[in-house]
Structure 1
Amino acid sequence: MQKTLISLAALALLAGCSLAPVLPQASSGVHAAWPQGEAYKALPQAASDAQPASEILWRDYFADASLREVIALALANNRDLRVSALNIDKAKAQYSIDSAALLPKLSASVGQTASRTPATMSATGAAQVNRQYSGGLSMAAYELDFFGKLRNLSEAGLQSYLATEEARRAQQITLVAEVANAYLTLGADQQRLKLANDTLQSQLASYQLIQKRQAGGISSGVDLYEAQSSVEAARSDVALYTAQVALDVNALRLLVGAEVPAALLPAAALQLNSTLAAIPAGLPSDVLTSRPDVQEAERALRAANANIGVARAAFLPSISLTASGGSASSSLNGLFKAGSSTWSFIPQINLPIFDGGVNRANLNIAKANRDISLAQYEKAIQSALREVSDALAQRGTLVQRVDAQTALVSAADKSYRIHDARYRQGSESHLAALVAQRALYVAQQGLISAQLEQSSNAVALYKVLGGGWQPESASPRS
């Protein structure tokens, strides 16, 4: 029995060669340099020793302490991220199942077989009861992996497991970016609401002044109705942004997966202090392949490639071994005594001859799945380059947009003050002051939007460059 087990172990160690093909080289068409053009002229270049975005942890990237607390809450409570973590556990368990096929399965058993012979069939003329006891170890149908079928199955399971880990990394980076954007949007809408309230108070003051001037015969009814229309427009904006702020809070609460303490909510539009101020060093292909979604696509390609080896092995003979050894006796007290040993060894060779084309079809399916995964991997790299290029194009122009919008607000404010002073002096109608005030209001709203886009772009660039991730340390909160 000992010699048999040693022989089986030697066969298992010596068995097999893999029939999986060489992993094909991806041709993604990614440019050898970062994009150039008018939109990218303002972008600073990173030093060759600069820290890549994929290594900058989000706790180091986001400077606002309240935002970091909200992100930590989301990482501890978000249900989508929790599902991703559970998917990793499921994939790990499946990989363990696939890997277990490489090892023989041993089981121990003790049993009894009893049979009764009736008196009419017994040689002695009396009924007889025969009992047989057995016990020992058995190995059921262990397949020798001569052609790498089981190892390729294990490899495919491993790559699928690693792909779920990359998917979770991508999910976390996306969640961090979504929470940051929701937080920034809430702050911007709160600033818009404050601007609408301030404008409403200013319009009410002007409306009341015109009422008094009309009562004194100084202003016309046209001025009064124009002022009233501005008041109602401002009142409408206040109602609009009041509802929008509530919607933003609801969206943030859903992303966090728990109630967000009021102390952590932004009081005004947040100006994000980004630590990523330059184009990353290195070639686009080097930077983009570090993104977890691209690595997930690569893992899927490797799994599909290993499945081709599994499909090819189905054309070749398979050898399985079934063996058992132990003791047998007609009495229980005679079990495992000298002279009661028993064993069986059943090798089996299975050679496929005709299967109606099933193996050929499975191989074609495996090759098609590999080609699909290759195309998806190349598309993932191309999409990553497009996302980074878009973010860089915006980053290169947003500084000029914010500067121009700031200057526009300053000019519109001066214009309004001049027209308002002239109206109060009676040198021009209220219409000119009203138009100037509306232009100022629009310019201020535009400045808030530009500042929000600038902050959101910093978040987007961090995300599309595969920003560094870290496991959440906060415990789930209800």
Structure 2
Amino acid sequence: MINSAEASPRGAFAALLTAGLLSACSMAPSYQRPSAPVAASFPSDSAGAAAKNSVALPLPADARSAVDTGWRDYFTDPRLQSLIAAALDNNRDLRTAVLRIDEARAQYDIQSADRLPNLNASASATKAKTPAFLSGSGQTVVGKRYDVGLSVTSFELDFFGRVKSLNDAALAAYLATDEARQAAQIALVSQVAQAYYTERAYAEQYALAQQTYEARARTYKLTQQRAEVGASSRLDLRSNETLMETARASALTLARQRAQAENALTLLIGQPPSSAASGAMPSDAQIDALSALPEGLPSDLLVRRPDIRAAEQRLKSANANIGAARAAFFPRIGLTVAVGSSSPSLHGLFDSGSGSWSFAPALTLPIFDAGRNRANLTLSEVRKNIAVADYEKTIQTAFREVADALAARDYLGEQVNAQRAVQDAQADRLKLLQLRFDNGVASSLDVLDAQRELFSAQQAVVQARLLRTTTAIDLYRALGGGLK
């Protein structure tokens, strides 16, 4: 360390500033986005398009993409909107995702602070007694010293980009966390919508089952009265009882499933619903509007879906860490600089000629580390390869989700129509068999069988409509969904 009251610290600070400005290179590999490991277009499902019953929905000319459609515009049910808004405010998983952003931001701020010198102010006072037999004058000496100053301690001159690479990695990790939060928000919106419509479907099925049970209970009572006077057989009585109890069991099962669906919805929104269950399944026209989203091209997913963008940021972070691992093989240069004033008395601390400064560069060159740096470089390269695989898998998963939703969109509309036709045919069949039974042509077993088939057809229609609704929600999420 060199100390001189006469020398100026300007040269030391100039050297520090110049070195800091020049240390902006990086040894990280040049980042190149991996090519998407999927087809150039989504499956067109030519077999379905050529089929007579295919119902590929025509898209309106002014249709907006999912990412440009906010969830309030997509889900128009007022109660559903209130539930989604409550979930965005109270869901604990989303709250954790938001806190992860704050955590990543703090880590980035900590890492970026290393790129600038840390300036510290210091003040000290020292008083020491030297015994007479140790002093040169043969007398006891009491020495005093007072120091004040500013210092920069162990500032690394980043000639080989180690600090910059670590800073770039922290920034990419922060951006990945923010993208993950957006992906969690889109997923939460779709989960709330699916849970809501699932609960509504169970409510609709329960109402059908309850109505069927009540009707069959009345029929059973009449059959019981007829059996008491010998107008009906015991077989008819037991058959009606079986049908009645089957409807009762179905109603109880649906009541349990509805209650569980309400509990799932409560967990998603983070609090008990503020209003009683209400609303209904969307109509066919509403589902058509929900499904009419332009799918675009697979390359659009790279900018639409936040989970893909998050995977790419993690890949960039792993790529930057390679630069830090490479820089560890090269010398590390640090500077410690201090300027201030020293005096044996407090009142003379700022007198002329009391100034002092120090300039202490240090160079550390790795010679033998038992393979630690080589292992760290290998580790960073392997982690980058893992990040590449994760990025490609995320794209493939997104591609499949969109393709599945599009395939379902092409078929489920016609499936609902077909299932509704089955319901209408079963209802007409029941009327005809009831008429034949009243005229003594058909047996009561035929009527009971028709009632059972009609109930199953009614339940199947509700299930098909729910499946079509959830598929429209899946398509919205898979295409990137709007956040507002």
Q: Report TM bin, short chain.
A: over 0.9
Determine the structure 2 residue equivalent to 1:294. Answer: 308
Compute the displacement of 1:51 (Å): 2.2
Quote the offset at 1:48 in angstroms. Answer: 8.1
Distance change >3 Å, CA 14–CA 91, structure 1 → 2: same
For 1:20, give the aligned amino acid: A
Residue number in structure 1 paired with 2:469:
455
The 3 A distance-change label for structure 1 pair 95 and 149 is same
- Aligned with residue 351 of structure 2, among 337, 343, 349: 337
- Map 1:131-142 to 2 at 5 A: 131-142=144-155
Q: How does 1:238-277 map to 2 (within 5 A)?
A: 238-263=251-276, 265-271=277-283, 273=287, 275-277=289-291
State the shift of 1:119 in Å.
4.5
After alignment, is 18-27 or 290-299 more displaced? 18-27
Report what 1:474 is aligned to: none
Kindly indicate whether residue 421 of structure 2 is the aligned counterpart of residue 407 of structure 1.
yes
Aligned mates of 1:407, 1:93 — CA distance in 2: 60
SS at match of 2:395: helix
Contact 1:81–1:171 (Cα < 8 Å) also in 2: yes
Secondary structure of 1:400's match? helix
Identity %: 44
What letter is aligned with 2:18? A
Aligned match of 1:191: 204
CA displacement at 1:360 relative to structure 2: 1.0
Find the partner of 1:428 among 438, 442, 450: 442
Find out whether 1:316 has 2:324 as its counterpart. Answer: no
Q: Which residue of 1 aligns with 2:36?
A: 28
Contact 1:61 1:274 in 2 (8 A): no
2:63–2:292 contact (8 Å) kept in structure 1: no
Distance 1:82 1:201, change over 3 A: same
Q: Secondary structure at the match of 1:262?
A: coil
Q: State how far apart, in whole Å, the 2-side matches of 1:395 and 1:217 are.
A: 55
2:386 matches 1:378: no
Distance 1:18 1:239 in 2: 67
Structure 2 partner of 1:169: 182
Q: 1:190·1:269 contact (CA, 8 Å) conserved in 2? A: no
Answer whether contact 1:179 1:252 (CA < 8 A) is retained: yes
Tell me the equivalent position of 2:222: 209
Aligned to 1:160: 173
Match of 1:10 in 2: 18
2:64 equivalent to 1:56:
no
User: Could you tell me how far apart the structure 1 residues matched to 2:382 and 2:234 are?
Assistant: 77
Moved more, 276-285 or 360-369: 276-285
1: distance between equivalents of 2:355 and 2:133? Answer: 34
Residue 108 of structure 1 corresponds to which residue in structure 2?
121
- Per-residue CA deviation, residues 391-428 of structure 1 (Å, 9 max, x unaligned), is 11111100010000111111101111222233233332
Deviation at residue 442 of structure 1 after TM alignment: 0.3
- Name 2:5's counterpart in structure 1: none
SS at match of 2:129: strand
TM-score, normalising length: structure 2:
0.93
Equivalences for residues 117-128 of structure 1 within 5 A: 117-122=130-135, 127-128=140-141
Give, in angstroms, the shift of residue 79 of structure 1.
0.5
Structure 1 position 131, deviation (Å) = 1.3
Q: Please tell me whether the aligned partners of residues 328 and 373 of structure 2 are also in contact (alpha carbons under 8 angstroms).
A: yes
Distance 1:174 1:135 in 2: 58
Distance in 1, Cα, partners of 2:233 & 2:302: 66
Equivalent position amino acid for 1:321 in 2: L
Q: Which residue of 2 aligns with 1:368?
A: 382
Provide the C-alpha distance between the structure 2 equivalents of 1:122 and 1:3, rounded to a whole number of angstroms.
38
Structure 1 Cα separation of the partners of residues 258 and 392 of structure 2? 41
Q: Which runs of 5+ in 1 are unaligned?
A: 471-478
CA gap of 1:274–1:304, structure 2 versus 1, over 3 A, is farther
Q: Is the 8 A contact 2:293 2:476 kept in 1?
A: no
CA distance in structure 1 between the partners assigned to 2:332 and 2:103 by the alignment: 30
- Aligned residue for 2:146, secondary structure, equals strand
Deviation at 1:25, TM superposition (A): 3.9
TM-score, with structure 1 as normaliser: 0.94
Q: Which of 267-276 and 140-149 deviates more? A: 267-276
* Distance in 1 separating the partners of 2:296 and 2:255: 46
Structure 2, unpaired ranges of 5+: 1-8
Greater mean alpha carbon deviation, residues 234-243 or residues 441-450: 234-243
**1:111-144 CA-partner distances (Å, limit 9, x unpaired):** 0122122345445665432111100001001111
Structure 2 match to 1:473: none
One-letter code of the match for 1:370? K
Deviations 1:280-339 (A, max 9, x none): 254212235420111110000000000111111111112111110100011111112211
Superposed CA RMSD in Å reads: 1.8
Amino acid at match of 1:191: E
Distance 1:276 1:350 in 2: 64
Of the structure 1 ranges 208-217 and 169-178, higher mean CA displacement relative to structure 2 is found in: 208-217
Pair 366,298 (structure 1): closer, same or farther in 2 beyond 3 Å = same
1:388-403 matches, within 5 Å, as 388-403=402-417
Q: CA 1:226 to 1:22, structure 2 compared with 1: closer, same or farther past 3 Å?
A: same
Q: Is the 8 A contact 2:342 2:349 kept in 1?
A: yes
The answer for the alignment partner of 1:476 in structure 2 is none
Question: Mean alpha-carbon deviation: is it higher for 341-350 or for 236-245?
Answer: 236-245
Count of residue pairs the alignment pairs up: 469
How far apart in 2 are the matches of 1:51 and 1:406? Answer: 31
Q: Would the aligned equivalents of 1:18 and 1:147 in 2 still touch at CA under 8 Å? A: yes
Is residue 231 of structure 2 the alignment partner of residue 218 of structure 1? yes
Q: Residue 134 of structure 1 contacts residue 335 of structure 1 at CA under 8 Å; is this kept in 2?
A: yes
| C-alpha contact (below 8 Å) 2:291/2:409 kept by paired residues | no
